[in-house]
Structure 1
Amino acid sequence: MSVPDGPPMSGYLDLLPAAMRDDFLGAFLAAFETVFTGLENTIEGLPAYLDPQSAPEEFLPWLAGWVALSLRADWPVETRRDFINEVVPLYRERGTPAGLRKLLEIYVRPINGGRTGDVAVFDDFDRPAHYFQVRLTLNEADPVRLRALQETARAIIDSEKPAHTFYALKIVTPTMRLVSEEFMAANPGTKPLILGHNTLLGTNDAPVAAGEPT
């Protein structure tokens, strides 16, 4: 059955018998199809909005609200996505050293180029009671940046630790290396030379007491 020449017909109109195709019905279905097709596209794209890794950046606070998470505006977008994506399984470990360590690792990981294992939590202290320590190893040496990172780390710890506990936070930063990582990897057992730890720069003279002439 042939179809009269003319403008392309609506996709919905193509589904009707030829006898029911007229200009009025065609215009009506074309308008309806335009609206409904936009809705179909929106529905088809909905899963992308529910995935933290693909959702638009402006949609992330809404997703965070679904998992009872508060996102800091100064976090990189990758860090915000990772927190939303990984925080729900960690709720089972809230208030524990392991849970705190994993949360801090999510925050530290992008700073250290995706490396893990740069967070340690120590809570095996007899005295004082309810005391623990957190150590972060960061690939960052800028003092301003380090101050901001420390403030954020403290905010995470304060929100996750049990209310009756208190802690000390230690930030470990890069220092001068006199042996390359490549050399150490090729020579197992080699100890790094770390300035101020096992290496001195300058003389080993006794320090001058205050008030003595130099």
Structure 2
Amino acid sequence: MGETTMNDTAARLLSALPAIYRASDDDGQLRALLDVFERILLASGNPNAPAIADEIDAIPALFAPLGVKPTASRQTVNGPAAIQSEAHAPAPERFMPWLAQWVAFTPYRYFAADELRRIVAGIMPYYGRRGTRDYMQKVLDLCFGKIGMSSIDEHPKRGFVVGTSRVGVDTVLAVREPYWFRVEFRLHEHAAAGAHGAPHDLEERVRAVVEFARPAHTEYELVMAPHRAQPMKVERHIK
């Protein structure tokens, strides 16, 4: 081994020992032993085999789907303190499915990595509204707001209206459907052709998110519609 000094990285553990142990290490055997632990615990010097401390420092990036940017300091009773002093890269793509499950977003399989990063980063503030129409609307907008517009109608059937409804023509007598709503999804006119996949693929993705976000014990009708510049050709699917 080459000569080391007390200022070298390899001497950090040795410098933490009582002076009696440092003084008795004339042959450098203790220093060599501690150097092994130093490389495993604190600084390996090899990016392909990082030390435990390096892996711990990288943990914040695993929970940041969009990465972490340095932020300004804030004033505390003990003086200025950095809120986030270092930048971290976005979480690795292979880690995104686990992170999506960690925030309970079960339809993660239907989204590409870049889409999933945006969804995971934005969904947490909505969890206090789970089980509501507002929650489902916000989740649909978060997942598909760039390519289309969704609307939720809790009362799509207006019922019998005296003087207007005609039984057998535009009105039928039927049992009321409680806890039932309609979701309509319409593509934006500027949505790139093919960017959202084939129509049946898009429908499957929208349905998966509706299933995820809908209140328990409810039934729904999903209406897939093209953008308004195209003729209306709606497919209805009852759940």
Q: Which runs of 5+ in 1 are unaligned?
A: 1-5, 113-117, 176-194, 198-214
Query: Taking structure 2 as the reference length, what is the TM-score of the superposition?
Result: 0.59
The Cα RMSD (Å) is 2.8
SS at match of 1:119: strand
Give the C-alpha shift of residue 13 in structure 1: 6.0
Indicate the residue corresponding to 1:102 in structure 2.
138
1:182-206 per-position Cα deviation (integer Å, ceiling 9, x unaligned): xxxxxxxxxxxxx669xxxxxxxxx
Query: Taking structure 1 as the reference length, what is the TM-score of the superposition?
Result: 0.65
Q: Is the 8 A contact 2:184 2:223 kept in 1?
A: yes
The verdict on how the C-alpha distance between 1:169 and 1:33 changes in structure 2, with shifts beyond 3 A counting, is same
Which residue of 30, 33, 36 corresponds with 2:41? 36
More strand by share: 2
Question: Aligned pair count?
Answer: 168
Query: Relative to structure 2, which stretch is displaced further, 47-56 or 63-72?
Result: 63-72
The verdict on how the C-alpha distance between 1:140 and 1:173 changes in structure 2, with shifts beyond 3 A counting, is farther
* 2-structure distance, mates of 1:80, 1:196: 32
1:109 maps to amino acid: G
1:1-43 per-position Cα deviation (integer Å, ceiling 9, x unaligned): xxxxx53342326726563444201211111100111111111
* 2-structure distance, mates of 1:174, 1:78: 28
* 2-structure distance, mates of 1:36, 1:110: 45
Q: Is the 8 A contact 1:79 1:110 kept in 2?
A: no
- The answer to whether structure 1 residue 165 and structure 2 residue 219 are counterparts is yes
Indicate the residue corresponding to 2:4 in structure 1.
8
Give the C-alpha shift of residue 172 in structure 1: 2.8
The verdict on how the C-alpha distance between 1:58 and 1:120 changes in structure 2, with shifts beyond 3 A counting, is same
- 1:56-95 → structure 2 map (5 Å cutoff): 56-95=92-131
Give the C-alpha shift of residue 75 in structure 1: 1.0
The verdict on how the C-alpha distance between 1:30 and 1:110 changes in structure 2, with shifts beyond 3 A counting, is farther
SS at match of 2:109: coil
1:39-89 per-position Cα deviation (integer Å, ceiling 9, x unaligned): 111111111112222211111222223222214334111221222222232
Give the C-alpha shift of residue 169 in structure 1: 1.8
More helix by share: 1
Q: Percent identity?
A: 26
- The answer to whether structure 1 residue 52 and structure 2 residue 62 are counterparts is no
